[in-house]
Copies of this chain bind each other. A is one copy, B any other.
């Protein structure tokens, strides 16, 4: 009750923004002149599906090869929220009240504090929360946070190019980010030259920043919030307030290249004549726009000049000024392009406001030697501001909701796949849905329709009483997100089939549906295992060439068993669709992409591969009747195999934990597999991913170690997600096999084929120099 009353009287983020605060264990706070950003690591209880092949003591004589169960797991989650610095005392009271109930919160723990206010509010924080306050240098936190985001959060940075074919050009993820210039626009502006993780320097600053915009805006308009002021600016026409080149020259000042519409003097038209006693009548919208343009232009020019002096080609903008506001970004980008003649890039950050808070938190984590990585949770984070406000502003005050960032702790450290020909230019996704409105429209609709299938799968889980309610919540949340993406495709970085699948997974998990297909997968795995022995005998009876083709077709037939493909799901739901039927569905050779003959020739005439890395796809017939026989043949041929599966469940993809059990059962059936497993010739590894798509920029470091240790010379990408939606165009420094059945009619047609078209692409190893020569011809 008390909470409610002051949550109303002051501008605190609502309680649903301070999520999981009760469980919060570690804190970091970045206190700026205007805004404070609180980071806290909380634990979330989530349902995880576990598999076990330990004898189930309760059920003697069970036919199952493994048991599936669900349990509550605890996972780390990083929450970031912001509030106005002037309310810090109320806010700390609020936090403290929540924490009183917390079992996790221990009094002797400390809070990392950074930003200007870290010094000023040390005593207040200590007294209010009863914690030790560890002050961390502001600049050093900013840089740590910025480096973290650039290296770990795909598409964190983007170019904004109004009128270009690609308005938002997301930058993927890169581990070679230095050197760069960071312009941190808080109340004031700091310019920091960053040369490495440890080498950075504040080379400049101006006092004309977000505080100036909001301060002058408050004096000049009735806007109640920073965002209201931005809204005003968007509606305004600065030409009524600003003196343009044409107002002075009557047109352009051509001899020095100043176009007529360029602002010659910001607010120049508002100058009062000595005889005008009354205030002139300017529209607030026009004033706000003039103010925004003036400050953005100024920051743009100063940023360019410093970058020029220090020979830096990339300028990132952090702080809390830009907020994804297109007019601001356009103005800054225009200024930097204008002055640098396009030589310097202005890059914006999706999480510009949290650099300091992230950095401070990471410093605390380092001290605790917790170096596990964090991934963006699409379900709990808010996206960039939509240019069409209808969605975001509907029913709520945008500014008072406060945008959120949530990062989930990942189980593995991730890095890029060493087999990529050029990891810097690698981009996982085949189709950019921001650039391709047809594809965007199709896939957004497709995912919206499929939500029913997902809910059906959820209903199939009988364990929990509230699953129907939660399924409805998931459905509503996910459809809402799809609607948001339809209006604002770039809200969460690149929009791709991969990002849509990730978003679906995050939303499912948010409503505690971690693995809706676990029962289905178990059933299919058991059924498939029953057919493996016969399949192997059949294959062994074929002559070499025919066997190679049969193995390829087996991979393809197995790949048909995909609950993610809605047309296939209809077949699968009959419960009678079998491996042989799947083989019949396959396109007759020549396939849509048919490199089988090249592949076969390679196998028969070339030396055996040293080591193959196989990224496998679905449970059931796919992994057991398709992949394992294919792997067994490679092993028999003297090729080591690394079989990788996802860390986290997604649709009916086989998971690493499931694969660990399955391989034991397969080893019981196949002597070769058994021997290979014991000798280490067959390794089962966790890919580090949790999606049907495969982002080779961020795979498990252990897997990377194995790939390098075994000198892998063949990579096999199986399934639509791994070989069509992503990596279709990826080039590798080793041989690659991309195998998939196109189980989506729209996509098949787009590729020039029909439903069940086959992709069997075999590519030789490439070298960067050869590539360059090719392109030079």
Q: Which residues of A contact B (CB under 8 A)?
A: 9-11, 32-34, 84, 86, 115-117, 119-121, 137-139, 186-188, 202, 204-212, 214-220, 223-226, 241-243, 245, 247-251, 253, 255-256, 258, 262-277, 279-280, 282, 287, 294, 297-298, 301-302, 305-306, 308-309, 339, 399-400
Q: Which 5 A-B pairs have the closest CB atoms?
A: A116-B248, A215-B267, A211-B265, A211-B268, A120-B250
Shortest CB-to-CB span from A293 to chain B, Å, is: 8
Shortest CB-to-CB span from A50 to chain B, Å, is: 47
Which of A187, A282, A302, A306 counts the most chain B CB atoms within 10 A? A187
Tell me the complex Cα distance, A208–B242, Å.
10
Which of A224, A262, A266, A269 counts the most chain B CB atoms within 10 A? A266
Chain B residue nearest to A293 in the complex (CB): B207
Tell me the complex Cα distance, A267–B306, Å.
24
12 contacting pairs across A/B (C-beta < 8 A) = A33-B264, A115-B248, A138-B253, A139-B256, A187-B265, A204-B301, A207-B265, A212-B267, A212-B268, A219-B282, A224-B276, A298-B298
State which of B33, B217, B242, B287 has its C-beta within 8 Å of the C-beta of A207: B242
Q: Are A266 and B214 in contact, CB atoms less than 8 angstroms apart? A: no
State which of B137, B187, B208, B209 has its C-beta within 8 Å of the C-beta of A255: B137
Q: Are B302 and A219 in contact, CB atoms less than 8 angstroms apart? A: no
Please indicate the chain B residues that have their CB under 8 angstroms from the CB of A204 in the complex.
301, 339
Given contacts A207-B266, A224-B277, 11 further A-B pairs with CB under 8 A are: A11-B274, A34-B268, A116-B245, A119-B251, A139-B256, A187-B264, A208-B298, A209-B265, A211-B266, A215-B266, A215-B269
Shortest CB-to-CB span from A41 to chain B, Å, is: 26
State which of B86, B206, B263, B399 has its C-beta within 8 Å of the C-beta of A297: B206
Please indicate the chain B residues that have their CB under 8 angstroms from the CB of A264 in the complex.
33, 116, 187-188, 207, 211
Please indicate the chain B residues that have their CB under 8 angstroms from the CB of A120 in the complex.
248-250
Please indicate the chain B residues that have their CB under 8 angstroms from the CB of A263 in the complex.
188, 207
Please indicate the chain B residues that have their CB under 8 angstroms from the CB of A10 in the complex.
275
Q: Are B116 and A270 in contact, CB atoms less than 8 angstroms apart? A: no
Tell me the complex Cα distance, A186–B10, Å.
44
Which of A139, A206, A268 counts the most chain B CB atoms within 10 A? A268
Chain B residue nearest to A264 in the complex (CB): B188
Tell me the complex Cα distance, A605–B270, Å.
78
Shortest CB-to-CB span from A660 to chain B, Å, is: 51
Shortest CB-to-CB span from A286 to chain B, Å, is: 11
Tell me the complex Cα distance, A610–B262, Å.
65
Tell me the complex Cα distance, A637–B282, Å.
84
Tell me the complex Cα distance, A632–B367, Å.
96
Tell me the complex Cα distance, A415–B305, Å.
40
Please indicate the chain B residues that have their CB under 8 angstroms from the CB of A287 in the complex.
219
Known: A119-B250, A274-B400, A309-B305. A218 touches B266 (CB 8 A): no
State which of B33, B226, B255, B272 has its C-beta within 8 Å of the C-beta of A247: B33
Chain B residue nearest to A242 in the complex (CB): B207
Please indicate the chain B residues that have their CB under 8 angstroms from the CB of A224 in the complex.
272, 274, 276-277
Please indicate the chain B residues that have their CB under 8 angstroms from the CB of A117 in the complex.
248-250
Please indicate the chain B residues that have their CB under 8 angstroms from the CB of A309 in the complex.
305, 308-309
Chain B residue nearest to A278 in the complex (CB): B222
Q: Are A188 and B265 in contact, CB atoms less than 8 angstroms apart? A: yes
Q: Are A249 and B119 in contact, CB atoms less than 8 angstroms apart? A: yes
Tell me the complex Cα distance, A24–B208, Å.
47
Q: Are A34 and B271 in contact, CB atoms less than 8 angstroms apart? A: yes
Chain B residue nearest to A192 in the complex (CB): B256
Tell me the complex Cα distance, A104–B349, Å.
67
Shortest CB-to-CB span from A217 to chain B, Å, is: 8
Please indicate the chain B residues that have their CB under 8 angstroms from the CB of A302 in the complex.
301-302, 305
Which of A137, A225, A264, A273 counts the most chain B CB atoms within 10 A? A264
Known: A219-B220, A270-B218. A187 touches B119 (CB 8 A): no
Please indicate the chain B residues that have their CB under 8 angstroms from the CB of A280 in the complex.
218-219
Q: Are B11 and A273 in contact, CB atoms less than 8 angstroms apart? A: yes
Q: Are A206 and B298 in contact, CB atoms less than 8 angstroms apart? A: yes
Please indicate the chain B residues that have their CB under 8 angstroms from the CB of A215 in the complex.
241, 243, 265-271
Shortest CB-to-CB span from A503 to chain B, Å, is: 31
Tell me the complex Cα distance, A472–B308, Å.
63
Q: Are A188 and B33 in contact, CB atoms less than 8 angstroms apart? A: no
Please indicate the chain B residues that have their CB under 8 angstroms from the CB of A223 in the complex.
272
Please indicate the chain B residues that have their CB under 8 angstroms from the CB of A266 in the complex.
188, 207-208, 211-212, 215
Q: Are B220 and A220 in contact, CB atoms less than 8 angstroms apart? A: yes
